[in-house]
Amino acid sequence: MDYRETLKEKKRIVIKVGSSTITYPETGNINLDKLEKFVRILINLLNRGKEVVVVSSGSIPIGRKALGIDADNKSDATKKACAAVGQGRLMMIYEKLFSEYSTLTAQMLLTKESIMSEECCINARNAFEALIDHHVVPIVNENDAIAVSEELYGIFGDNDTMAAQVAELIEADLLILMSDIEGLYTDDPRHNPNARFIHTVRKIDTELEQMGKGAGTASGTGGMHTKIEAAKIATKAGCDMVIANGQSIYTINDVMAGKKIGTLFIAEKNAKSDINEYAPEKDIYRHHKKIK
């Protein structure tokens, strides 16, 4: 059986869109055409009986544009101010687009300490459940304006990790990371023309983590390393995860249709424990042994 076929039946789905997916990198402005298509895709998922949570980047570049602040200004206070301004603008657009389909949205701003605190964690989970029960689409982002320094609690640092934490929190069935990359390669394809694309990962080990090379984009902060870290969180929590290219937002439909798009990380509870080889000719990464 093709495991991709099982993605069609996933019920509770977390979808993360990066800054490079929903904004124009040249200007920092929102790509309204793509965002409108994204909302329509989400509405169709809801119409099919799916439960959807969105983790959306974009507040900082949108805020920078609104305030006229150059991207070279990387001071912590400036980023917090940009996030505060940009988040309001981003939510306003989401709310307007969803309202055209008579669907409500809710803003959920999280910090790492809110996930680490047992009481806050329970409150957040209960809030998510109540929103989903009332057919409201939660729009999640990190509360950058008040996030505590990494030395104290550890900020998320990227929305890939936060999306995985949210998927774990709400016991999601599937996490889709929409980014500016197609998925995982055996090496950085920009520097190694012999790098092979990996379609399916059943086990994450040290060797696989070494494949996660490459830096983030100018708009976003998450490179492949953060996506593998997100995969470790999600798959350990029993949630499958797909990394897919957000250049075409309709890729989400392809993933949900079970097509061989992006890199699929199979949840630990679903991976077959008796498969222990690495088969590049099948584009599948399996733990430990290599077939030569």
Q: pLDDT tens across 135-159, in order? A: 999 999 988 666 655 533 444 557 8
Say what the pLDDT of residue 213 is.
Answer: 54
Of residues 195, 265, 197, the one with CA closest to residue 227: 265
The CATH number for 3-290, chosen from 3.40.1390.10, 3.30.710.10, 3.30.360.10, 3.40.1160.10, is 3.40.1160.10
Q: How far is CA 174 from CA 41, 256, 276, in A?
A: 16, 10, 24
Separation CA 189–CA 245 (nearest Å): 15
Say what the pLDDT of residue 155 is.
Answer: 46
Number of neighbours of residue 35 by Cβ within 10 angstroms: 21
Phi-psi region at 68: left, alpha or beta (left = phi > 0; alpha = psi -120 to 50): left
Separation CA 227–CA 229 (nearest Å): 5
Name the pTM for this structure. Answer: 0.86
Say what the pLDDT of residue 157 is.
Answer: 53
H-helix or E-strand containing 218? none
Low-confidence ranges of the chain (pLDDT < 50): 151-155, 214-222, 273-282, 287-292
What secondary structure does DSSP assign to 59-104, as a single string?
HHHHHHHHHT--TT---HHHHHHHHHHHHHHHHHHHHHHHHTTT--
Angle between helices 59-67 and 76-99 (to 10 degrees): 110
Cα first-last separation, the chain? 25
Of residues 161, 255, 274, the one with CA closest to residue 200: 255
Instruction: List CB contacts of 91: < 8 A, sequence separation 6 or more.
Output: 105, 107, 139
In the chain, count of helices (H) and strands (E)? 10, 13
**Burial bucket for residue 184 (CB in 10 Å: 0-12, 13-18, 19+):** buried
Say what the pLDDT of residue 148 is.
Answer: 59
**Contact present, 175 and 241 (Cβ < 8 Å):** yes
Separation CA 57–CA 71 (nearest Å): 16
Of residues 106, 15, 94, 96, the one with CA closest to residue 59: 94
Separation CA 189–CA 197 (nearest Å): 9
The encoded tokens of residue 24 equal 């124009």
